[in-house]
Chains A and B, each alone.
Chain A
Amino acid sequence: MYSPTYAAPTTVDEAVGLLANASGAARVLSGGTDLIIQMRSGRLRPEVIVDIKKIAGTIGIREEADGWHIGAATPGAEIGEHAGLCAAWPGVTEAVQLIGSTQVQGRASFAGNLCNASPAGDSVPGLVAAGALAVIVGKNGKRTVPVEDVPVSPGRTSLAADEFVYEFIIPKASGKTSDAYLRFIPRTEMDIAVVGCGITVTLDASGTCTAAKVCLGAVAPTILVLDDAAKILIGNKLDDATLAKLDAAAQAACKPIDDKRGTIEFRTKVAGVLARRVAAIAFERAAAR
């Protein structure tokens, strides 16, 4: 009968050791809002579960010179209550609070959402658009990569078996920079994104975009970073022509599937709709800085 081993190490080295030496499949536990569900349904049966929440630095938010450091397992509820981070990155922080429900928010984390490697993870496009970095630890030490480099296909990440995400670093939003994230779901909450879109823009004093990053979720096997769409925004103001081009670029980038949550046609069209709506919010927020 299936009976996994649970460990809650207090140091990174200990956790890495447990992961590296696991005889069967090992899984990292943060909030567990995906892992526990997948285990209960029988889809996943890891031999070893390594709970990282007792390791110093995996829960909490602090502002440092190089940006906001957010512990991997910091729950959404804690992120949503952090006034400084919410003011700096409204899109990123709103996105994580869309995961599940109030109860789920008490546990759900950025790292779990990212490493579950679903293209529909709500907190991922916002992190990517904000230029967030994932700090990964493993037996060869620490490495820092852009968040978008973590997921490689549905359910799979670029992390080695001995590695886990320790924390995230989100750069400080300088000047007229802000972000937004929206997702489309058939209901109003407690659902998985049919399409998600995160956009970060920087404006000059005239309201012209000088930098942008556009990311779509749930329309391809992994989240998509839309360089073409960013280029459309840069050098332009929020006008109808720019929005129309952004819509077209978002639709062109989509490589969705037909499934129970939406058709290819629907996802593609809604990706364009969301890109326009998210850009409008991001521009408005950046202009207000």
Chain B
Amino acid sequence: MNDISLKDALKVVGTRPVRPDGVDKVMGRAQFGGDAVMPGMIFGSTVRSPHAHARIIKIDTSAAEAMKGVRAVVTAADLPNITSEEAFVGEGPMNFRDLSCNLMARDKVLYDGHVVAAVAATSTSIARAAAEAIKVEYEVLPHVINEMEAMQPGAPVLHDDIFTSGVDPKPTTPSNVVKRMEFAKGDLEAGFAAADKIVERTYTTAPVHQAYIEPHACVAAFNPDGQCQVICSSQGHFMVRAYCAKLLGIDISEIRVTPAEIGGGFGGKTLVYLEPLALALSRKAGRPVRMVMTREEVFRGSGPTSGGTINVKVGAKMDGTITAAHAEVILQAGAYPGSPIGPALMTCWAMYDIENASAVGFDVVSNRPKVAAYRAPGAPISTYATESAVDELSRAIGMDPIELRLKNAAKDGTKALYGPTFQNIGYVETLEAAKNHPNLQAKLGPNQGRGVAAGFWFNIGGESSASLAVNEDGTIALVSGSPDIGGSRASMAMMAAEVLGVNVERVRPIIGDTASVGFTFVTGGSRVTFATGTAVCDASDDIVKQLRGRAAKLWEIDVEAVEWRDGSAYPAGDNAGKFEPLSLADIAVKSGRTGGPIAAKATVNAQGAGPGWGVHVVDVEVDKETGHVKILRYTAAQDVGRAIHPSYVEGQVQGGAVQGIGWALNEEYIYDKDGRLDNGGFLDYRVPVASDLPKIDVALVEVPNPRHPFGAKGVGEVPIVPPMAAIANAIFDATGVRMTSLPMSPPKVRAALDAAGK
């Protein structure tokens, strides 16, 4: 194990080499999910519900099946009827039955865009025409979109088997409220009684989509012997394999999934939408089937994250001590149970050491697409509310917002509201880095304001596999099981190169298919550099041990007398004997004579992921006449443990901040009165464009995580947590108006300014 405090001794980690997958991507040669080809392949399309809530009376596929070129039509009748079973295959909890029904509606459709049938044909246009020829008869039911309305007695009930859990007594009538959760410590009442100032407010957020550029896409073949091949872009090909096996009722060994390059996931590709359908179509058609969603299908049918309603009450003494904090969070789950309510509650006060605190939450279904993970699932929603309220509190007691956070900051030894005691955390250092950033010296002009907010994310470890092989010329083949969605191939190669003492260009990293490398959990939870990185380092350590053994054999000395330094074997000291050093290449070329090929594999279930802490400071200018908010300056400080490849770590932080800016200012799902999505495309679902943004300045803080060989902590999720509150706080600073509803779009900002007489 390396001494993680010795950053200066590192030769590869911390440098910025060109990414191994870079040239293919800039040349347009990278093969994404929709690029994959199988011989004889045909093309799939889906039929989707135009209703928010309806009973399926009848599906008539005869006209479609009679069309020339149509090879297969499938409905729920072609899929096994799955019984209720909780699974942890993707990033969040998922019930197999719900996932099956989400892929292909059974009995009822629960949202606009819910798939009711799929068709495969010899061309995409025939498939689409056939999809239109499938006649579905519906009995339209009353629907409910808003989470607060869905909670009301008398609201249309989506599932007759949901009885709110976590309440006493257990309800006897079904409702849309799946569960109630609570975390609490101390005495809230006494805490508020001790406060000099209390802020109490309600906030709302809109569902937002992960908005990856690459739509869901796959090619799948179900061969006559029962063996299945899937090529797709996902955040976990082992996850795809597990879901396909379960939903189609086949053995895992029958399915081989090959990962394609992935054009963004952000959590939204930690579950399946198309692959089991493509396999079911292929089984019927006897041909491989390619399915690619349109952008509209991505918006209507794949998971956004929740919108929600959050009530916050927080109090402090005039000296800045926060005496009590309470949050009630109501999250949309979409059509099936499972909003990120747990993490929303666990993260929202995690930045603070507060004696008396509580967080209560409700998971609520309504007639929307089932939510999927999105970067730090749940945390941005609840933290927008709590960090807005803390900003208001800092103004109420006249204290600088960073000073207030420093005074109450979580430190090593702080016991979090959700249970654990923090160790090796760098939150105070992150606050200091934000406070000392030169951007905070910039003078603000008229209608300009500055806002601060912080955020927390757990990060996870988990199961990963990696293998290394020393090639005959001393170069290295590195295989891991983690799809690369953020530059992880580069960081894997760098960590291996650091351990082996070779140039990073000597290491060629790839992602193995499900038959070529051990099980690896999804790329999610900001876990890959930590967990898969640990597996890579373990395998690299094993290689070093073997290399020392081979040198010992060549020199005919004891392996303990051989040390590995800068990519070569050296005698450990004068007593070991006098030998010229042997490089990795020297040993590799002789490996046949010293025991055969040199290779190693490692599997881990990594524990002890270091949490991520982010502090964002944003300067905005508000056009008071139009309500348009311009981001002038953006500073993101973050504890990253150790930046393996600083450019890609900065890229993660910048990307998270930018997605947060979109969430804050313009992104939202808009439904019409019939419960149909009205903005299912990039024209009216407004992600930020380049000209909307300044450079996102990143301050990397490195408080190493002792549980990782180089001290790395997860970095990809926490940067989307602070932006919404930071921007809301900056808008208040610029205008004196508190925006309590996302997105803070121009019509809403102008209306709020008008209402306040500003």
Residues on A with beta carbons closer than 8 Å to the beta carbon of B126 = 1
Q: Which of A186, A190, A265 contacts B751 (CB 8 A)?
A: A265
On whether the beta carbons of B628 and A186 are closer than 8 Å, the reply is yes
A270 to B747, CA, bound (A): 10
Question: Contact mask A184-197 → B, CB, 8 Å, 1/0?
Answer: 10111111101000
Residues on B with beta carbons closer than 8 Å to the beta carbon of A265 = 747, 751
Chain A: which residue is nearest B625 at the CB level? A273
Listed stretches B368-376, B398-406, B522-530, B684-692; interface member: B684-692
**Which residue, of B666, B683, B745, has the highest number of chain A Cβ atoms within 10 A?**
B683
On whether the beta carbons of A260 and B686 are closer than 8 Å, the reply is no
Cβ of B194 within 8 Å of any chain A Cβ, yes or no, is no
Question: Contact mask A1-27 → B, CB, 8 Å, 1/0?
Answer: 110000000000000000000000000
Q: A273 to nearest B CB, angstroms?
A: 4
Residues on B with beta carbons closer than 8 Å to the beta carbon of A172 = none
Residues on A with beta carbons closer than 8 Å to the beta carbon of B679 = 260
Interface size grouping (class) on chain B: 20 to 34
Chain B: which residue is nearest A274 at the CB level? B626
Q: Which of A184, A187, A263 contacts B689 (CB 8 A)?
A: A187
Residues on A with beta carbons closer than 8 Å to the beta carbon of B626 = 184, 270, 273
On whether the beta carbons of A1 and B684 are closer than 8 Å, the reply is no
Cβ of B670 within 8 Å of any chain A Cβ, yes or no, is yes
Cβ of B746 within 8 Å of any chain A Cβ, yes or no, is yes
**Which residue, of A194, A263, A266, has the highest number of chain B Cβ atoms within 10 A?**
A266
On whether the beta carbons of A186 and B666 are closer than 8 Å, the reply is yes
On whether the beta carbons of B125 and A188 are closer than 8 Å, the reply is no
Residues on A with beta carbons closer than 8 Å to the beta carbon of B750 = 266, 269-270
Residues on A with beta carbons closer than 8 Å to the beta carbon of B678 = 260
Residues on A with beta carbons closer than 8 Å to the beta carbon of B627 = 266
Q: Which of B125, B666, B670, B754 contacts A187 (CB 8 A)?
A: B666
On whether the beta carbons of A192 and B683 are closer than 8 Å, the reply is yes
Interface residues of A in 261-276 (CB under 8 A from B): 261-263, 265-266, 269-270, 273
A188 to B628, CA, bound (A): 10
Cβ of B129 within 8 Å of any chain A Cβ, yes or no, is yes
Q: A222 to nearest B CB, angstroms?
A: 21
On whether the beta carbons of A190 and B746 are closer than 8 Å, the reply is no
Interface residues of B in 699-725 (CB under 8 A from A): none
Interface residues of A in 152-193 (CB under 8 A from B): 184, 186-192
Given contacts A1-B129, A266-B627, contact A260 B666 (CB under 8 A): no
Residues on B with beta carbons closer than 8 Å to the beta carbon of A2 = 125, 129
Chain A: which residue is nearest B681 at the CB level? A41
Given contacts A1-B129, A191-B686, A261-B684, contact A186 B691 (CB under 8 A): no
Interface residues of A in 20-78 (CB under 8 A from B): 41
Number of chain A residues whose Cβ lies closer than 8 Å to a Cβ of chain B = 21
Given contacts A260-B678, A266-B627, A273-B626, contact A186 B686 (CB under 8 A): yes
A189 to B686, CA, bound (A): 11
Chain B: which residue is nearest A195 at the CB level? B626
Residues on A with beta carbons closer than 8 Å to the beta carbon of B686 = 186-187, 191
Chain B: which residue is nearest A192 at the CB level? B683
Residues on B with beta carbons closer than 8 Å to the beta carbon of A262 = 746-747
On whether the beta carbons of A1 and B125 are closer than 8 Å, the reply is yes
On whether the beta carbons of A266 and B689 are closer than 8 Å, the reply is no
Q: B688 to nearest A CB, angstroms?
A: 7
On whether the beta carbons of A187 and B747 are closer than 8 Å, the reply is no
Residues on A with beta carbons closer than 8 Å to the beta carbon of B745 = 186
Q: A121 to nearest B CB, angstroms?
A: 14
A183 to B126, CA, bound (A): 41
Q: A45 to nearest B CB, angstroms?
A: 11
Given contacts A1-B129, A266-B746, A266-B750, contact A188 B684 (CB under 8 A): no
Report the tally of A-B residue pairs with Cβ distances under 8 A.
Answer: 55
Chain B: which residue is nearest A41 at the CB level? B296
On whether the beta carbons of B691 and A188 are closer than 8 Å, the reply is yes
**Which residue, of B628, B686, B692, B747, has the highest number of chain A Cβ atoms within 10 A?**
B747
Residues on A with beta carbons closer than 8 Å to the beta carbon of B684 = 260-261
On whether the beta carbons of B747 and A263 are closer than 8 Å, the reply is yes
Chain A: which residue is nearest B629 at the CB level? A186
Q: A101 to nearest B CB, angstroms?
A: 8
Residues on B with beta carbons closer than 8 Å to the beta carbon of A260 = 670, 678-679, 684
Residues on B with beta carbons closer than 8 Å to the beta carbon of A187 = 666, 686, 688-689, 691-692
Chain A: which residue is nearest B623 at the CB level? A273
A269 to B627, CA, bound (A): 11
A266 to B627, CA, bound (A): 9
Chain A: which residue is nearest B126 at the CB level? A1
Chain B: which residue is nearest A261 at the CB level? B684
Interface residues of A in 231-289 (CB under 8 A from B): 260-263, 265-266, 269-270, 273
A1 to B125, CA, bound (A): 8
Residues on B with beta carbons closer than 8 Å to the beta carbon of A269 = 625, 750, 754
Chain B: which residue is nearest A267 at the CB level? B747
Chain A: which residue is nearest B671 at the CB level? A260
A260 to B685, CA, bound (A): 10
Residues on A with beta carbons closer than 8 Å to the beta carbon of B125 = 1-2
A265 to B625, CA, bound (A): 13
Q: B665 to nearest A CB, angstroms?
A: 8
A12 to B460, CA, bound (A): 67
A191 to B683, CA, bound (A): 6
Question: Contact mask B719-758 → A, CB, 8 Å, 1/0?
Answer: 0000000000000000000000000011100110010000
Chain A: which residue is nearest B670 at the CB level? A260
Question: Contact mask A75-116 → B, CB, 8 Å, 1/0?
Answer: 000000000000000000000000000000000000000000
Residues on B with beta carbons closer than 8 Å to the beta carbon of A184 = 626, 628, 746
Residues on A with beta carbons closer than 8 Å to the beta carbon of B625 = 269-270, 273
Residues on B with beta carbons closer than 8 Å to the beta carbon of A266 = 627, 746-747, 750-751
On whether the beta carbons of A188 and B747 are closer than 8 Å, the reply is no
Residues on B with beta carbons closer than 8 Å to the beta carbon of A190 = 689
A262 to B627, CA, bound (A): 12
Residues on A with beta carbons closer than 8 Å to the beta carbon of B751 = 263, 265-266
A260 to B746, CA, bound (A): 12
Residues on A with beta carbons closer than 8 Å to the beta carbon of B692 = 187-188
Given contacts A1-B125, A270-B626, contact A188 B689 (CB under 8 A): yes
Residues on A with beta carbons closer than 8 Å to the beta carbon of B666 = 186-187
Q: A181 to nearest B CB, angstroms?
A: 16
A41 to B683, CA, bound (A): 13
Chain B: which residue is nearest A263 at the CB level? B747
A188 to B666, CA, bound (A): 12
Chain B: which residue is nearest A1 at the CB level? B129
A117 to B196, CA, bound (A): 60
Question: Contact mask B647-687 → A, CB, 8 Å, 1/0?
Answer: 00000000000000000011000100000001100011010
Residues on B with beta carbons closer than 8 Å to the beta carbon of A273 = 625-626
A45 to B691, CA, bound (A): 35
Question: Contact mask B105-128 → A, CB, 8 Å, 1/0?
Answer: 000000000000000000001100
Residues on A with beta carbons closer than 8 Å to the beta carbon of B689 = 187-190
A41 to B128, CA, bound (A): 12
Q: A84 to nearest B CB, angstroms?
A: 28
Chain A: which residue is nearest B67 at the CB level? A1
Known interface pairs A41-B296, A187-B688, A263-B747; 20 further A-B residue pairs with C-beta atoms within 8 A, sorted by A's residue number: A1-B125, A2-B129, A186-B665, A186-B666, A186-B746, A187-B666, A187-B686, A187-B691, A188-B689, A188-B692, A189-B689, A190-B689, A194-B746, A260-B679, A262-B746, A266-B750, A266-B751, A269-B625, A269-B750, A270-B625
| Top 8 A-B residue pairs of the complex, sorted by shortest distance between their CB atoms | A266-B747, A188-B691, A273-B625, A260-B670, A1-B129, A188-B692, A260-B678, A186-B666
Q: List 25 A-B contacts (CB under 8 A).
A: A1-B125, A1-B126, A2-B125, A186-B628, A186-B665, A186-B686, A187-B666, A187-B691, A188-B689, A188-B691, A188-B692, A190-B689, A191-B686, A192-B683, A194-B746, A260-B678, A262-B746, A263-B751, A265-B747, A266-B750, A266-B751, A269-B754, A270-B750, A273-B625, A273-B626
Chain B residues at the A interface, C-beta cutoff of 8 Å: 125-126, 129, 296, 625-628, 665-666, 670, 678-679, 683-684, 686, 688-689, 691-692, 745-747, 750-751, 754
